[in-house]
Structure 1
Amino acid sequence: MNQDIRALEPKAVWNKFADLNAVPRPSKKEERVIAFMKNFGTQLNLETIVDEVGNVIIRKPATSGMEDRKTIVMQSHLDMVHQKNNDTDFDFDTQGIEMLVKGDWVKANGTTLGADNGLGVATIMAVLESTDIAHPAIEALFTIDEETGMTGAMGLKGGLLKGEILLNLDTEEDDEIGVGCAGGVDVTATRDYDLEETPEFKIGFQIKVKGLQGGHSGMQIHEGLGNANKIMNRLLFGGFENFGLRISEIEGGSLRNAIPRESNAVIVIDAIHEEAFKADMEDFISDIKKEFKTMEPDLLIEIKAIDAPSHIMDLGVQEGLTRAIYTAHNGVYRMSADIPNLVETSNNIAKVVVKDGQIKINCLTRSSVESSKWDMANALMSAFELIGCEVEFSGEYPGWTPNMDSDILKVLVPIYKNLNEGAMPHVAACHAGLECGILGQNYPEMDMISFGPTIKGAHSPDERAQISSVQKYWNFVLEILKEIPKA
């Protein structure tokens, strides 16, 4: 399958992408891909550095005639989000990504593709390896752990880079030039609860919510996609009063930056209410599916009879939990008043686990305005503390403030217009978390810009990269390298 990828144009990029995707590279387990990149730079006889946190820096001198241009930093992250369909047998720790060509798109076989940000990495590798591409002096910066905390960017020390311009290759629409992004903070709520023995005359059920699209909790939070944790909570809420519903276990969602696609719960109800419960739930499920029929046509909610579990959660805690999750905001919290159509603040209720006497709820709050970010985070904290949870804020990172007077922006816009028959690029800030804001803390004078090829469905098994867009983007890269201003 991957051989088909190697035949695509531009071959320089797609071949490097295929090489990269043969290396397992989950966030926080980047040892193999760090070694891969270090070997790549060494084999090219280029100065190659691995810093103390694991970022890889490869330096390449300017080509002939370009020595008087400003040094640039080309930057992408090495790690990828690992998500797979339930029926896909795949081990991300040991297997390379299996890729397919579907028309004008490259996708993976039941898993995330790793185009976010693997195509950016592959682009930089192609430039570093080239012998016929004109470019100024380059510092290639490959960061680690972007997807689960941005610890690579946070750990990069000031003074290590000498470049004056940073090209971040992590934007996912080929007509967009990024000049700003949201910051974020993880909000984690935990508490213990007492287990009770399941009373007599209770019968067990397993409830499954699945078939949702999932996706990027920044770039797609405004699209109205279903959140499996919120849907599951609707099914559980109020069930005690009507059917004696008691919760034994819940496991929903996976990664903090992925809109949750699936949730599973084990419950019991009073045996006497079995038929009424089934009928009521059938009607309720029908209503929910009607709500989501446009955005989530493949939504499935299954209820299956099972043996009753031996233990259930304390009733008072159960009632508080379902109310707190109902109260906790999910989705867009505020749109920007200054930038049209930009989500300013949002929250993703990413993961809910209730098991063995412990509750853990993970949220990722994003905002391009610091005060609004903390307003959202404090609202979540309040909802969860009211039911006795301990709430921790962690992984906080800053946004990237837009600079519409950027010198490198003034270079990119006319290049884009010349390559695209006069069409103007969409110059915008995005609601995703890019590393530019963090890098800018230690390199405040560096002029930064972000762009990339079109990638859809990032952070989900539906992730796909557009082949024609990669060619368009590659041409853009080559022209930018030729037009970097003089020092």
Structure 2
Amino acid sequence: MSELSQLSPQPLWDFFAKICSIPHPSYHEEALASYIVDWAKEQQFWCERDATGNILIRKPATAGMENRKPVALQAHLDMVPQKNNATEHDFARDPIQPWVDGEWLKARGTTLGADNGIGMASALAVLADKTVEHGPLEVLLTMTEEAGMEGAFGLQPNWLQADILINTDSEEEGEVYMGCAGGIDFLSELPINRSAIPAEYLTLNINLKGLRGGHSGADIHLGLGNATKLLARFFAESRGKFDLHLIDFKGGNLRNAIPREASAVVAIAPEQEATLQQALQEYLSILQNEVAPKDKNITLNAQSTSHSGPALTTESFDRFINLLNVTPNGVIRNSDVAPGVVETSLNIGIVTLEEDQAKIYCLIRSLIDSGKEYVVSMLHSLGALAGAKTEASGSYPGWQPDANSAIMALTREIYLDLFGKKPNIQVIHAGLECGLFREPYPHLDMVSIGPTITGPHSPDEQVHIGSVALYWQLLTALLKAVPTK
């Protein structure tokens, strides 16, 4: 943490260091929320929480700026908990360990939580820094964004006083976001039957590891490997070559993160083990040729295990692997309205085998409602063919771009004045909470900005230190320039 105290702007990095020291994965944000509320009250700011747990803090305007339009700075409290397999870390108990690597800040073996910890730290720093000039100011910190935007869904109406909302959850300095994708969760539950495996069969644990993973929205266009899909493909292509029995299968642990690892426990006749090992190495060579430019550290191996228990019947094995293999993943369609932006995608985020059913969890994103509906329809049809029970839930709206947004135009003007170049005005394929804020607060004029963060939702997450300083310059200049009512 001492490294962070040497960075600039210091108030922001001091708050980020504190945020890293308090565990705050989704559904475990209460300790961090309590710290922030206590701090706000110590500073004698008006502070309140709604029934969902969202925090709202108010700070009076700088003297002489009382007639400016009121602004809300918004961030979410939770972070995505992802770690490398070899890293010992309990996200509900252990602090994040950030470290400086040249121009970047990273974490040791885990997600960093720069998404959205830097935005949260910047909002708190604005509250604390008496040199930042602004009109009437609110800071809104929402609960459990990463696991379903629960805070935004439950945001109390008639609570915010702001006319303008600045979302701090973007991840590319130099880009100003004026719209985002909506999303919907999808679950397929496939009934399975099991039977005993021959007593003399060996059990092996097959592990596919080393993929980059990443954000299922912001990184979906990169064509990164999805570990569950890649392992399912191996079984689909090799089923006829071995007398293979599937005991267990699992991949991924978050619906909004591209799975980095997948594993399966199989039983096989001893005389076929060497052939299976050879087939795995041949398949690894294929994957290295296909995905190595982006997933350079991919590994695939099988090791003996003492795992015991019944395996899927041949019919259940075939239906499960065929369903997983045929389920689409990645970009479905690019946008015609916003060139270079993904319109519709889906991510197979979590796959598990239980005693009597397989579960496949997907997250569908789209800039347009009909795009979500199309993919939902496709997955319902696949489920019907496979005999799976399917359910779509948790739909949230996108943020429709407003070409006449005054705060977007002001942000573009301020950026040009500060840095001598125009920012890119973008629509992001990731889900931001702005779309949900529109229902209780239809009058809000919104924009989203942030520093450069790469690898969010994976242990490769890092934030560019210099971009945080540029983001801070833009944010504080924008607050100073907000017009009168």
TM-score clears 0.5: yes
How far is the alpha carbon of 1:307 from its aligned partner?
A: 4.3
**Residues 351-407 of structure 1, C-alpha deviations (whole Å, 9 max, x = no match):** 111132331111000000100111012212221232222111112100000111101
Q: Which moved more, 1:15-24 or 1:340-349?
A: 15-24
Partner of residue 181, structure 1: 180
Corresponding residue number in structure 1 for 2:470 = 472
Please give the secondary structure, in 2, of the residue aligned with 1:386. helix
SS in 2 for 1:113: coil
Preserved contact between residue 280 and residue 300 of structure 2 (Cα < 8 Å): no
Matched residue of 1:374: which SS? helix
Task: Report if the CA contact (8 A) 1:313-1:357 is conserved.
Answer: no
Structure 1: how far apart are the matches of 2:185 and 2:354? 21
| Cα shift at 1:200 | 4.1
Q: Distance in 2 between matches of 1:238 and 1:203?
A: 21
User: For residues 268 and 246 of structure 1, what CA distance do their matches in structure 2 show?
Assistant: 5
Partner of 1:362: 361
Mean Cα displacement is larger for which, 287-296 or 306-315? 306-315
Instruction: Map 1:444-483; keep pairs closer than 5 Å.
Output: 444-483=442-481
TM-score, length-scaled by structure 2: 0.98
Q: Distance in 1 between matches of 2:96 and 2:426?
A: 32
Residue type at the aligned position of 1:443: Y
Structure 2 letter corresponding to 1:425: P
Describe the superposition over 1:414-439 as per-residue Cα deviations: whole angstroms up to 9, x where unpaired. 11011112x11000100000000001
Shift of 1:90: 1.1
Matches of 1:202 and 1:56 in 2, distance apart? Answer: 57
* RMSD (Å), alpha carbons: 1.2
Question: How far apart are the structure 2 equivalents of 1:179 and 1:470?
Answer: 20
* Residue in structure 2 matched with residue 435 of structure 1 by the alignment: 433
CA gap of 1:308–1:123, structure 2 versus 1, over 3 A, is closer
C-alpha contact (below 8 Å) 2:280/2:301 kept by paired residues: no
Tell me what 2:312 maps to.
313
* CA shift for structure 1 position 235: 1.6
Worse-matched range after superposition: 279-288 or 428-437: 279-288
Query: What does the per-residue CA deviation read over 1:265-301, in whole Å, with 9 as the maximum and x for residues that have no partner?
Result: 0012233433332222321221112111101110111
Residue number in structure 2 paired with 1:246: 245
Q: How far does residue 193 in structure 1 lie from its aligned partner after superposition?
A: 1.9
List gaps (5 residues or longer) in structure 2: none
Q: Which amino acid aligns with 1:464?
A: Q
Could you say which residue in structure 1 is the equivalent of 2:32? 33
Once residues 342 and 301 of structure 2 are traced to their aligned partners in structure 1, the CA distance between those partners, rounded to angstroms, is 33
Within 2, Cα distance between the matches of 1:308 and 1:454? 44
- After superposition, where does 1:63-74 map in structure 2 within 5 Å? 63-74=62-73
What is the CA distance between 1:260 and its match in structure 2? 0.2
Residue segments in structure 1 that go unaligned for 5+ positions in a row: none
- Cα distance in 2 between the residues matched to 1:43 and 1:28: 26
* Kept after mapping to 2: 8 A contact 1:72/1:136: yes
Shift, 1:257, TM fit: 0.5
Q: Distance in 2 between matches of 1:303 and 1:141?
A: 49
* AA of the residue aligned to 1:380: L
- Distance (whole Å) between structure 2 residues aligned to residue 311 and residue 238 of structure 1: 23
Match of 1:164 in 2: 163
Aligned counterpart, 2:257: 258
1:193 and 2:223 matched: no
Secondary structure class of the residue paired with 2:195: strand
351-360 or 437-446, larger mean C-alpha shift: 351-360
Alignment of structure 1 residues 61-140 onto 2, 5 Å: 61-140=60-139
User: Which residue of structure 1 aligns with residue 203 of structure 2?
Assistant: 204
Runs of 4+ in 1 over 4 A off after TM superposition: none
Q: 1:308 to 1:240 in 2, by over 3 A?
A: farther
3-state secondary structure, aligned to 1:27 = coil
CA contact (8 A) 1:198 1:309 kept: no
Measured after TM superposition, the shift of residue 79 of structure 1 is: 0.3
Question: Which segment is superposed worse, 308-317 or 461-470?
Answer: 308-317
Distance 1:396 1:308 in 2: 39
- Which deviates further from its counterpart, 314-323 or 176-185? 314-323
- Distance verdict in 2 for CA 1:55–1:308, change over 3 Å: closer
Paired letter, 1:460: S
Deviation at 1:317, TM superposition (A): 1.5
For residue 357 of structure 2, what is the amino acid of its counterpart? Q
- Looking at structure 2, the residues matched to 240 and 418 of structure 1 have their Cα atoms a distance apart, in angstroms, of 62
The separation in 2 between residues aligned to 1:307 and 1:27, in whole angstroms, is: 34
Asked whether the equivalents of residues 331 and 346 of structure 1 are also in contact (C-alpha less than 8 Å), the reply is yes
How far apart, in 1, do the equivalents of 2:185 and 2:23 lie? 26
Using the alignment, how far apart are the partners of 1:291 and 1:362 within structure 2?
Answer: 25
For 1:270, the aligned partner's letter is A
SS in 1 for 2:439: helix
**What is the CA–CA distance in structure 1 between the aligned matches of 2:91 and 2:284, rounded to whole Å?**
34
Q: Shift in Å at residue 64 of structure 1? A: 0.5
Matched, 1:277 2:280: no
The Cα shift of 1:308 comes to 6.5
Give CA deviations for 1:75-122 in whole Å, capped at 9, x if unaligned.
Answer: 000000001111111111111111100001111111110100001110
Q: How many residues align?
A: 485
- Whether the aligned pair in 1 keeps the contact of 2:75 and 2:140 (CA below 8 Å) is yes
Cross-structure match for 1:425: 423
CA–CA distance in structure 1, aligned partners of residues 114 and 307 of structure 2: 44
Once the two structures are superposed, residues 2-50 of structure 1 have per-residue CA deviations (whole angstroms, 9 ceiling, x without a partner) of: 1111110110100011111111111112211221121121111011001
What is the CA–CA distance in structure 2 between the aligned matches of 1:282 and 1:455, rounded to whole Å? Answer: 35
2:222 partner SS = coil
The alignment partner of 2:131 has SS state of coil
Offset of residue 144 of structure 1 = 0.6
Percent identity between the two aligned chains: 39
Contact 2:178 2:448 in 1 (8 A): yes
- Cα contact 1:202–1:308 (8 A) shared by 2: no
**2 CA distance for matches of 1:462 and 1:285?**
22
